[in-house]
């Protein structure tokens, strides 16, 4: 037996678990603005994209897989595949390299991508192929391109997609450089955390394109004006993804010096940590804290990013200031 050919009992269990997941996402309101995505999540079986995954265990990870010889463990694998939770799918030397994102967050991101019929979409970070399958269900295979730096990841994504009946373009390349041979794109969605906005993406987008990407523990939604300009605000949603890997990646670092002198309510507050990450290199921790207090603990939606000619910067409320910070 393989994960792609379940016995009758597991097939019924998968269908029941998938229906329950769809109801849970429905109740969260994730796709209220574009309920067409409900059909995609109802139709695309997630378990085909996670023939094995890892769950946290004492001292490391425990593997669950569809070909486990113990029936009870195969049932646990199916149920876990349809939890509204991220799943670790590739681990090396204790480091998480790839995962299948939380389905409700995926639904929120796909809705916020504001896809229209006929849009060409570039996905940065192929992962298991599940997100590409959802896009292909909505748009058709020909309009979806997904890329990843790791050939093992893209090859397994191709297999999973084919098992689910989808054949979008899957390319092994550095996602930070986009995919010029498939451009131009109307939408770009990243499923990995960025520490800089690659200008190559803008050059591969049509005017008016939308870019949605994790950045500084949030989700930035940029509208592309032309090859040298894009601007947008963060969504209210928090987001934690595996970092983008590739030749143009830079590592954001939270400053340690200075944090010990700040109140615990700030050091432990998610929105303050978001501000620290966004302003690393632009503000000292005490300056960030003073701003945070003065502006009454600003929510993510008040922040934005502008990509202009020769520079990229983050801002609070207004891209022209007074609160702006340079970005890589």
In three state form, how does the secondary structure of the chain look?
A: CECCECCHHHHHHHHHHHHHHHHHHHHHCCCCCCCHHHHHHHHCCHHHHCCEEEEEECCEEEEEECCCCCHHHHHHHHHHHCCCCCEEEEEECCEEEEEECCHHHHHHHHHHCCCCCCCCEEEECCCCCHHHHHHHHHHCHHHEEEEECCHHHHHHHHHHHHHCCCCCEEEECCHHHCCHHHCCEEEEEECCEECCCCHHHHHCEEEEEEEEEEECCEEEEEEEEECCEEEEEEEEEECCCCECCCCCCCCCCCCCCCHHHCCHHHHCCHHHHHHHHHHCCCCCHHHHHHHHHHCCCCCHHHEEEEEECCEEEEEECCCCCCCEEEEC
Note whether residue 175 is domain-resident: yes
State whether 185 and 275 are in the same domain: no
State whether 218 and 244 are in the same domain: yes
pLDDT for position 250: 41
State whether 148 and 270 are in the same domain: no
Q: Is the pLDDT of residue 274 over 50?
A: yes
- Split at pLDDT 50, 70, 90, the class of 56 is confident
State whether 154 and 216 are in the same domain: yes
- Split at pLDDT 50, 70, 90, the class of 197 is very high
Which residues belong to the active site? Answer: 98
Note whether residue 108 is domain-resident: no
Note whether residue 107 is domain-resident: no
pLDDT for position 186: 98
pLDDT for position 236: 95
Q: What is the CATH number of the domain that holds 194?
A: 3.40.50.150
Q: Which of 76, 101, 126 is the last residue of a domain?
A: 101
- Please give the residue range of the domain that contains residue 206: 113-252
Note whether residue 106 is domain-resident: no
Q: How many structural domains does the chain have?
A: 3
């Amino acid at each position: 037996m393989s994960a792609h050919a379940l016995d009758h009992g597991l097939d019924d269990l998968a269908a029941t678990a998938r229906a329950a997941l769809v109801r849970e996402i429905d109740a969260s309101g994730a796709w209220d603005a574009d309920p067409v995505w409900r059909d995609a999540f109802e139709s695309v079986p997630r378990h085909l994209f996670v023939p094995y995954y890892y769950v946290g265990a004492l001292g490391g990870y425990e593997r669950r897989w569809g070909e486990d010889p113990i029936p009870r463990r195969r049932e646990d694998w199916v149920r876990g595949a349809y939890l509204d939770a991220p799943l670790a799918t590739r681990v090396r030397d204790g480091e998480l390299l790839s995962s299948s994102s939380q389905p409700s967050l995926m639904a929120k991101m796909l809705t916020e991508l504001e896809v229209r019929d006929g849009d060409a979409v570039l996905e940065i970070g192929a992962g298991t192929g599940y997100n590409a399958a959802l896009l292909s269900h909505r748009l058709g295979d020909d309009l979806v391109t997904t890329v990843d730096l790791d050939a093992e990841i893209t090859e397994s994504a191709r297999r999973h997609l084919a098992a689910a009946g989808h054949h979008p373009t899957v390319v092994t390349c550095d996602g930070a450089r986009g995919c010029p041979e498939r451009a131009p794109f109307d939408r770009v969605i990243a499923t990995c955390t960025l520490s800089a906005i690659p200008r190559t993406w803008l050059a591969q987008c049509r005017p008016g394109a939308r870019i949605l990407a994790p950045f500084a523990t949030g989700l930035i939604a940029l509208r592309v004006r032309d090859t040298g300009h894009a601007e947008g605000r963060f969504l209210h949603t928090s987001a934690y993804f595996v970092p983008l890997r590739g030749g143009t990646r830079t590592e954001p670092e939270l400053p340690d010096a200075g944090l010990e002198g700040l109140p615990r309510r700030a050091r432990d507050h998610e929105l303050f940590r978001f501000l620290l990450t966004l302003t690393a290199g632009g503000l000292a921790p005490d300056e960030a804290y003073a701003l945070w207090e003065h502006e009454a603990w600003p929510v993510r939606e008040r922040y934005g990013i502008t990509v202009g000619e020769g520079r990229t910067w983050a801002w609070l409320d207004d891209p022209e200031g007074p609160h702006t910070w340079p970005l890589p």
